[in-house]
Amino acid sequence: MRHGRYRFIFGFLAAPVILYVVFVISPYIQAFYISLTNWKGISANPQFIGLENYTRLLDDEVFWAAVRHHGVLLLVMPLVTIVIALFFSFLLNLSGGQRGGQMRGIWGSKVYRVIFFLPQVLAVAIVGVLFQAIYRPDESGVINGLLGLVGIDPVGWLIAPDLALWSIIGVMVWQAVGFYVVLFSAGMSSIPKDVFEAAELDGANRSTLFFKITLPLLWDTMQVAWVYLGIAAFDAFALVQVLSVDRGGPDNSTTVLPLEIWRTAFNFSKFGYASAMGVVLFFMTITFAALTLRVTRRERIEF
Amino acid sequence: MSYSAGTPGDITRRQMLRRIGLTALVAGPAAGLLSACATGGSNAPAATTSAAPSSGGAVSAANPFGVAANAPLEVVIFKGGLGDSYATDVHEPLYKKTFPQATVKHVATQQIAQTLQPRFASGDVPDVIANSGTDLMDTGALQQEGQLQDLTELWDAPSIDDPAKKVRDTVAPGTIESGLIDNKPYLMNYVFSAYGLWYDSALFEKNGWTPPKTFEEFKALAEKIKAAGITPFAYAGKNASYYAFWMILISAAKIEGNQVLIDIDNLEDGVWKRDSVKQSAAAWAEIGKYMDKSFEGLIHTEVQTRQNQGKVALYPSGSWLENEQKSQTPEGFKYALTPTPSVTAADKMPFEAIRAAAGEAYIVPSKAKNPKGGLEYLRIMLSKEGARGFTEKSGNITVVTGAADGLDLSPGNASLSAAQTAAGQNIVTFSSFENWYKELETELRKQTNALMFGRITADQFCDNMQKAADKTKSDSSITKQKRTV
């Protein structure tokens, strides 16, 4: 009977595993192979050229610009998103003081929760189109129109090379915050009330509550958030594609690897070279995720 | 894992077998999929498609390619500025009239490459493709892979209107040459376009402005236009910086002659650093200063609409502009074309010279199911009736000589035809590198924005472009092409 059980489990798992292998794992493996060829994406017989694509990457200016931008995104985007999300979820859940032994959020917190989550519901393409109007570089843009009312000249949000990437990071943060507010709220609600009660009896103020109680007990959730956001920082394709000047411009100032992979493959017909970029991106993402999980590992507090 | 002991252990042998059968059902097609993936299939798909029913049909005077009368035809049309009614209402019915038994499948898309690249990879290709738009297929790459039908047969076939004439003798000079890849005709460039600066002649008349003939006049006029509160010159940096680099290339050709454009296509050493390119870039950068910075963040339709609203005076574009803006153009707005101003007094070509070229490539994939039907479809497009219908539906003139005669032309088209007459033999040639070397073209877009919005000088522009051209030249993965005319 024991034997039959394993066969049952195998039978149950086989379908998803096969689907996963066919549609996820096998393209990955293929990408590794294609990256060693000069495949143009049309014929079915690519030539094997060894590591040529990888050596070419070394002095590809645009590729390095994209890598640098991922560095900036990785440093800034998760940090800003998590700080804002933590702040909001603390306000929504715990900052209203106690009533009847329950921690409360500030007044109207239920309405705010819906408002914060709203951007998450929008498809990224719609967000892109929205921000096209918001960031429009002349007076007809939403922000520049408002600035115009107080007599400030229009700002080239997406056309100034020094500003463009930050404008795009702004959109990413705006879109992501809502989800993490909800995530952190769930984490906070699972913290036992008596911990807060005890702390308050001992005379802890709100900031002590936040830094000494909430934050340490939320560590696991934050770790997850950090990994998710980090992986998102390796993407940014859709927003850059829709928002930036000439797809990644001006002067390469906003380009990201997924965009360059797409351009190299579909515009330049260099699927081999694009796959090499893809492989590099794959390793960057994996390394990041592994490092984050390793570095942020802490003792778990069970409650 | 702490399953309650009951459930999984209690399965009978029969249920078990049923489940395994189900898994096999899923696994079976999956294995098939695996072998059909990108590089797994070797040449198998191509072999299956070439065995398609195109072998039928006898060759006759009326059917020079020997099209099988009942073979279905699939036409993929880029639905952009030209719309697609010219295909659904004119060419496809004409094809059906010739071959009543054939079914014609019409596909309209704005993203040619995304739609068709996977189909080329798997061998399931349509018979005619209007390869246009931002996301067009790289025809150079297609040709290298042997995916394009050589059109020599088409150009040598008898014309539908006059069987005594070959098709090649019924089109504007330069048409066939513009579709050469590796010295063989693979592209049928169908639309006759002229490039230059477009303006509202009514607005200019009202203000007493005349289009400038030299860059000195251009700057003087720009000051006047600016004083009137209108942006003298603008283009859309976000997605149409190539409109601006066309102007730079045209001016360079006017200074030095067409050879410079031919040399650029041939990746000649140091061509981007020649005086002609440098002078032209410097002259246009001066004009760029009259443009508000915000135009770099706008797309072409936004800038074109601003021109329709009387906020932009001169706009670089091609002759499709009038048609593209039809729904935005207010009453009384009259599109007119003026050639690019002369840069120096010693220019090789006169002010009147314009770039006129056959554009909008139509291709027949060689591994299509009905490539002969594809050729016949193109021959129908090149008939007088097909061309006239195209002009009526799309508002654009075709390469077919005299096909638009007697049609009531719009102000823009009338101005185009006047400019063409004035130019005579002084025609600035087309550029092939835009299709041959996409990477170089992408770099040129970038550098043009940087130049026109004042981030780099003309010298830096030339240096950067020379570097990009050298990179393309030394890239062994890009097949080099040559042109002589």
B188 pLDDT above the threshold of 90: yes
Q: Which range, A53-62, A216-225, B265-274, is most confident?
A: B265-274
pLDDT tens-place string over residues B386-430: 999 998 888 788 888 777 777 777 888 888 878 877 887 788 988
Between β-strands B312-318 and A98-99, what pairing exists: parallel, antiparallel or unpaired? unpaired
Query: For B214, phi and psi rounded to 5 degrees?
Result: -130, 170
The predicted pLDDT at position B96 comes to 92
User: Which value, in Å, is the radius of gyration of the alpha carbons in chain B?
Assistant: 26
Q: Which of residues 228-257 of A touch B (CB under 8 A)?
A: 245-246, 249-252
* Cα B179 to the center of its chain, rounded Å: 11
- pLDDT computed for residue A293 by the predictor: 81
Chain B residue with minimal CA distance to A46? Answer: B39
For B148, the 3-state DSSP assignment is strand
Rounded Cα distance, A244 and A164, in Å = 7
Residue A131 tokens read as: 């921000």
Q: At residue B444, does pLDDT exceed 70? A: yes
Interior CA angle at B277 toward B276 and B278, to 5°? 90
Looking at this protein, which amino acid is placed at residue B89?
A: D
Taking CB atoms and an 8 Å limit, are B37 and A30 in contact across chains?
yes
Percent of chain B at pLDDT exceeding 90: 54
| Residue B5 pLDDT | 38
> Between residues 170 and 229 of chain A, which touch chain B (CB distance below 8 Å)?
none
Residues of B421-444 as b/e, b for ≥16 C-beta within 10 angstroms? eebeebbbbbbbbbbbbbbbbbbb
pLDDT over 50 (residue B7): no
Q: Does domain B193-356+428-474 have CATH number 3.40.190.10?
A: yes
Q: Do A42 and B477 touch (CB under 8 A)?
A: no
- Cα-Cα-Cα-Cα torsion A127, A128, A129, A130, nearest 10 degrees, comes to 50
Looking up residue A165, the CATH number of its domain turns out to be 1.10.3720.10
- Is residue B10 predicted with pLDDT exceeding 80? no
Please state, rounded to an integer, the average pLDDT across all residues of chain A. 86
Q: How many CB pairs under 8 A join A and B?
A: 149
Question: How many residues would you count in chain A?
Answer: 303
Range of the domain at A171: 58-295
Terminal-residue alpha carbon distance, chain A: 38
Interchain contact, B8 vs A44, CB within 8 Å: no
pLDDT at site B180: 87
Q: In B, which residues are within 8 Å of A270 by CB distance? A: 477
Taking 50 as the threshold, does the pLDDT of residue B138 lie above it? Answer: yes
Candidate from A45-54, B30-39, B177-186 with smallest mean pLDDT: B30-39
Tell me whether 0.85 is exceeded by the ipTM: no
pLDDT at B37 over 80: no
Q: Is residue A112 over pLDDT 70? A: yes
Sorted by sequence, the CB contacts under 8 Å of residue B254 that are 6+ apart come out as B340, B342, B343, B347, B348, B349, B353, B428
A100 by DSSP, 3-state: which? coil
Neighbours of A228 (CB within 10 A): 17
Tokens of B30: 């999956």
What pTM does this model have? 0.77
| A33 in contact with B, Cβ within 8 Å | yes
Say how far apart CA A219 and CA A187 lie, in whole Å: 9
Tens digits of per-residue pLDDT, B309-334?
999 999 999 888 888 888 889 989 99
Q: Report the domain count for chain A.
A: 1
C-alpha neighbours within 13 Å on the C-beta side of residue B38: 22
Torsion of CA A29, A34, A36, A40, to 10 degrees: -170
- Answer whether A14 sits within 8 Å of B38, measured CB to CB: no
Q: d(Cα B31, Cα B259) in Å, to the nearest integer?
A: 55
d(CA B379, CA A33): 43
Q: What is the DSSP code string of B387-414? A: HHHHHHHH---BSBTTTTTTS---HHHH
State the pLDDT at residue A100: 53
Among all residues of chain B, which has the CA nearest to that of A158? Answer: B297
CA distance A43 to chain B (A): 6
Which DSSP letter does residue A84 get? Answer: H
**How many Å lie between the alpha carbon of B414 and the closest alpha carbon of chain A?**
33
- Tell me, what's the pLDDT at A78? 93
Selection from B286, B319, B293, B302 nearest residue B239 by Cα: B302
Residues of chain B with CATH 3.40.190.10: 48-192+358-410, 193-356+428-474
Query: Which residue of A7, A18, A41 is in closest CB contact with B16?
Result: A7
Q: Is A120 on the interface with B (CB under 8 A)?
A: no
Give Cα separations from A238 to A61, A233, A256, B328 (angstroms): 22, 12, 10, 29
Q: Could you tell me if A158 lies within 8 Å of chain B, comparing CB atoms?
A: yes
In terms of Cα–Cα distance, which of B159, B166, B153, B145 is closest to B365?
A: B145
In a domain? residue A249? yes
**B176: three-class secondary structure by DSSP:** coil
Cα separation, A109 vs B28, whole angstroms: 53
pLDDT score, position B30: 40
How high is the pLDDT of residue A302?
63
**How does strand B180-181 pair with strand B312-318?**
unpaired
pLDDT at residue B432 above 70?
A: yes
Q: Is the dihedral of CA A24, A29, A35, A39 positive or negative?
A: negative
pLDDT band at B207 (very low <50, low <70, confident <90, very high): very high
Residue B22 has pLDDT above 60, yes or no: no
Q: Are strands B180-181 and B184-185 parallel, antiparallel or unpaired?
A: antiparallel
- What whole-number distance in Å separates Cα of residue B65 and Cα of residue B280? 47
- Determine the longest span between alpha carbons in chain A, in angstroms: 81
| Closest chain B C-alpha to A221 CA, distance in angstroms | 24
pLDDT of residue B400: 86
Question: Tokens at residue A48, please?
Answer: 């094997």
Contact A266 B114 (CB under 8 A): yes
Note the pLDDT tens digit of each residue in B265-289: 999 999 999 999 999 999 999 999 9
Give the C-alpha separation, A25 to B33, whole Å: 13
Residue A164: CB atoms within 10 Å: 25
Chain A residue closest to B26 (CA)?
Answer: A15
Q: Are B381 and B387 in contact (CB under 8 A)?
A: yes
| Amino acid B366: pLDDT | 92
Query: What is the tens place of the pLDDT at every residue in B326-385?
Result: 888 998 999 999 999 999 988 999 999 999 888 889 999 999 999 999 999 999 999 999
Answer whether residue A192 shows pLDDT above 50: yes
CATH of domain B48-192+358-410: 3.40.190.10
Q: Which of B474, B367, B477, B364 is nearest to A40 (CA)?
A: B477
Report yes or no on A41 lying in a domain: no
Prior bond of A258 cis (ω within 30°): no
Parallel, antiparallel, or unpaired: how do β-strands B184-185 and A102-103 relate? unpaired
Q: What is the pLDDT of residue A281?
A: 93
Contact by Cβ (8 Å): B437, B413 = no
Mean pLDDT of B429-443: 89
Residue with tokens 């409109």: B243
Cβ-based contacts of A273 with chain B (< 8 Å): 477
Give residue A269's pLDDT: 86
Tell me if A169 is assigned to some domain: yes
